[in-house]
Chains A and B, each alone.
Chain A
Amino acid sequence: MTLRTEPRLADPDGFYAALMEAHRGLDEAASRRLDARLVILLANHIGDDAILREALALARAAGRGA
C-alpha cells in the first residue's frame, strides 16, 4: 500500500470546521499538544510504517520557507 493522495473527504468543509473547533480556546502550547495527540491517534490507526514515512516526507516537502 502507498499513501493515498487523491481527495477522499466526503465533507471537507465540515472536517475543517471540526478541526478549528477542536482548537478553539486553546493557547499555543495546548494547540500544539492537541495536534500531536491527533497525529499519534491517526498514525496508530494507519499502523503502516511505510505509509507513515511517506506522509512524513510529503508533509515536510510541502512546507514553505525554512
Chain B
Amino acid sequence: MPGATYTNPRFPFRRPAALGRAAVEEQRVVIVGGGLTGLTAALDLARRGVPSVLLDEDDTVSEGSRAICWAKRTLEIYGRLGLGERFLRRGITWNTGRVFFGDREAYSFDLLPEQGHEYPAFVNLPQYHAEEWLVAACEGTGLVDLRWRSRVAAVENSADGAMLSVETPDGAYRLRAEWLLACDGARSAVRRALDLPFTGQVFRDRFLIADVVMRPPFPAERRFWFDPPFHPGQSVLLHQQPDDLWRIDFQLGWDADPEREREPERVSARVRSMLGPDIPFALEWVSVYTFRCRRLERFRHGRTFFLGDAAHQVSPFGARGGNGSVQDADNLCWKLAAVVVGRAPETLLDSYDAERGPAADENILHSTRSTDFITPKSGAALAYRDAVLELAEQHALARPLVNSGRLSRPAVLAGSPLSTPGAAPAAMLPAGSPPVDAPVLRDGQPEWLLRRLNADGRFTLLAFDDTGLHAPAGPPGVGLVVVSGREPPAGRLPGVLFDHSGLAARRWGCAPGDALLLRPDGHVAAGFRTPARDAVQAAQRRAMGHAAA
C-alpha cells in the first residue's frame, strides 16, 4: 500500500570492484542486513574508527512504520551516536500508559515519574525515519561501505572468519570477512546458511496492525483496551506517531483469515467502529501477523555474531524487539573495535553472548507473559485476567498484575564475566547496571551527566568528590569524570561537574570518595570506595577480557 506521509528512498546500487575479478575480496568487518540493527552496528563501529562493509538485499529502509517505540536507553545510545536529539525533535514524546477494560478506564501509569533525564521514557517514531538517519550518518563517517541490492547466497564459517557468496544485479562475487555480523532479521539468511536452530514458541493469535492518518482527540500516550465495545472480546493498542500518523493494533484471534483481514474496506470498518463516524482517516499501511518468541542457543559462532531479530525474536508488546536490538549493537561494537585493533583478546567477544543471552531471555520472558495475559489460553486464564482488570479500577493492589506489555527496560548485566564484584559499597549501582542520567552544571552551564560519560566512548572513571581536588588519576586508557556535590571554585577545576540538585549522587548511590569504572557502553564494570589506581586498572583489564593477573 503506497504511503501518504512517507515515500521510501531508493539507494543506488554501486558496482563493487570485486565483481568480475578472480581474487576473493577480503574485508575485516562485514555486516549482513541494512536494517535498524545492522546500520546501528555499522555507525557505532565507524565512530570507534572501525570500517565495515554492509550488505543489504534491498535498496531502501523499512517498509511500514514497524518498530515505533524508542525507549529511554535506546535514545541515550543514539545520543552517543549523535542522533538522539533528532529522535526528540521529530518523534512524539510520551510517558503515560492508559489501560481500558470494557467501556471504562481501568488505570494509568507513568513510566518516568521523575524529572531530570535528558530523554523521556519513550519517543514514538516510525522505523524508516531512524533508518534513513542512520544511513546518512553511516555515509557521513566515510567508513561504512553500504552495498544495496547485495544478497548473501551462501556462507561458509571457519575459525578465522566467514566466506560469503554475494549476488548483485550485475553478478556474483566472493567476499571473505574476518568478522561477520549477522543483522539480517528474523528470517536471517546467515542463520539458515549455518543451519542453526531457531527455537521457541508460536502464539496462536493473529494481530492486525494499521498505520492510520487522522487527527483524533487522543493525547500522546499509550492506550490499551481489553475487550472494548468497538472490538468485543479482543484487545486494541493505540500509539501516536508524528505527522498525524497513528498506529493501531487489533487483536483478531487465531481463527481470523489473514488475507481477508488485510482488505482495506474491512480494516476501515474496524477503525471506523473505534473512532466513531465523525473523524476522517486514511489507511497508510496494513499488516497481519502472528507472534513468535524464539532465539538462537548461542549468539557467537566462531567469528560470526548474531544481533537483533536474527538472534532472538519477541512479541511486540513491550517494545522489546527494536530496543533489544540496539542494545545488542551497543554491547558488541566497543568489544569488536577493541579486538580488531589488538587492544583486547578475542575472548572478550565471548562476553557478548554471556551478556546478551540473558538479556534476550529476559525480553522473551516478559513478552511471553504479556502475551499470555493478553491472549488467555483457558477459561481460568480469562477469568483471572478479567478479575485483575475488574479490581484494577478501584484497587491499586491489582494494577501491578495488569500486563498489557512490560515496556522495555535496559538490561542489567548481572553476573557478567567482565564485572569486578565485591569492592563496591552496598548503596552503589551494582556492577552490570546501565548508566543513569542526571542534570549537572559544567562550568556553570546546564549539562547532562550521560553526555559527559558518553563523550568519547572509552572507559570512564566516574568519581564523586565534594572538593573536586582529590579525584584519583585513572590508569591509561581510562577517562576521568568528576562529579562534585559542592560548587567548584570559579575558574578552577574546569570540566568538574557540579551535582547542583544532588540527583547524580542519589541515582548512582554514591558518597564523596566513591567511584565507578564504566565500560565504553556505559555499563558499570566495578565500584570502589576511594579507588586505588591498581584496583581500577585490574577492573579495567578484566572488563577488556584479559585473564586475571
Q: Which A residues contact B (CB, under 8 angstroms)?
A: 29, 32-37, 39-41, 44
Contact = CB atoms under 8 A, between A and B. Distances in A.
B388 interface: yes
Contacts of A35: 383
Interface string B375-404: 000011001101110110001011001000
Contacts of A39: 384, 387
A33 B329 CA distance: 45
B383 A40 contact: no
Contacts of B398: 40, 44
Nearest to A31: B383
A33 B383 contact: yes
Contacts of B391: 37, 40-41
A15 B397 CA distance: 24
Given A40-B401, A44-B397, A29 B383 contact: yes
Contacts of B390: 33, 37
**Which of A29, A33, A34, A35 has the most chain B CB atoms inside 10 A of its CB?**
A33
A36 B381 CA distance: 10
Contacts of B387: 33-34, 36-37, 39-40
Contacts of B383: 29, 32-33, 35-36
Interface of B: 379-380, 383-384, 386-388, 390-391, 395, 397-398, 401
B387 to A, nearest CB: 3
27 contacts: A29-B379, A29-B383, A32-B379, A32-B380, A33-B386, A33-B387, A33-B390, A34-B387, A35-B383, A36-B380, A36-B383, A36-B384, A36-B387, A37-B387, A37-B390, A37-B391, A40-B384, A40-B387, A40-B388, A40-B391, A40-B398, A40-B401, A41-B391, A41-B395, A41-B397, A44-B397, A44-B398
Contacts, number: 34
A32 B386 CA distance: 10
Nearest to B387: A36
Nearest to A44: B397
A61 B390 CA distance: 29
A55 B395 CA distance: 23
Nearest to A28: B379
Contacts of B379: 29, 32
Contacts of A36: 380, 383-384, 386-388
B232 to A, nearest CB: 15
Nearest to B401: A40
A41 B387 CA distance: 10
Which of A29, A34, A35, A37 lies at the interface centre, i.e. has the most chain B CB atoms within 10 A of its CB?
Answer: A37
A41 B401 CA distance: 12
B36 to A, nearest CB: 38
A66 B387 CA distance: 25
Q: Which of B379, B383, B390, B391 has the most CB of A within 10 A?
A: B383
Given A37-B390, A40-B397, 19 more contacts: A29-B383, A32-B379, A32-B380, A32-B383, A33-B383, A33-B386, A33-B390, A35-B383, A36-B380, A36-B386, A36-B387, A37-B387, A39-B384, A40-B387, A40-B391, A40-B398, A41-B391, A41-B397, A44-B397
Nearest to B381: A36
Contacts of A34: 387
B361 to A, nearest CB: 21
Contacts of A29: 379, 383
A36 B398 CA distance: 11
Closest 5 CB pairs of A and B: A36-B387, A32-B383, A44-B397, A37-B387, A36-B384
A17 B386 CA distance: 25
A66 B431 CA distance: 47
A51 B388 CA distance: 21
B479 to A, nearest CB: 43
A54 B95 CA distance: 38
A33 B386 CA distance: 7
Nearest to B392: A40
A32 B383 CA distance: 6
B5 to A, nearest CB: 43
A17 B384 CA distance: 23
A39 B205 CA distance: 28
Nearest to B383: A32
Contacts of A37: 387, 390-391
Contacts of B397: 40-41, 44
A63 to B, nearest CB: 13
Nearest to A38: B387
Contacts of B380: 32, 36
Contacts of A33: 383, 386-387, 390
B498 to A, nearest CB: 42
Nearest to B388: A40
A47 to B, nearest CB: 10
B339 to A, nearest CB: 43
A36 to B, nearest CB: 3
Contacts of A32: 379-380, 383
Contacts of B401: 40
- In this complex, the member of A35, A36, A44 whose beta carbon has the largest number of chain B beta carbons within 10 angstroms is A36
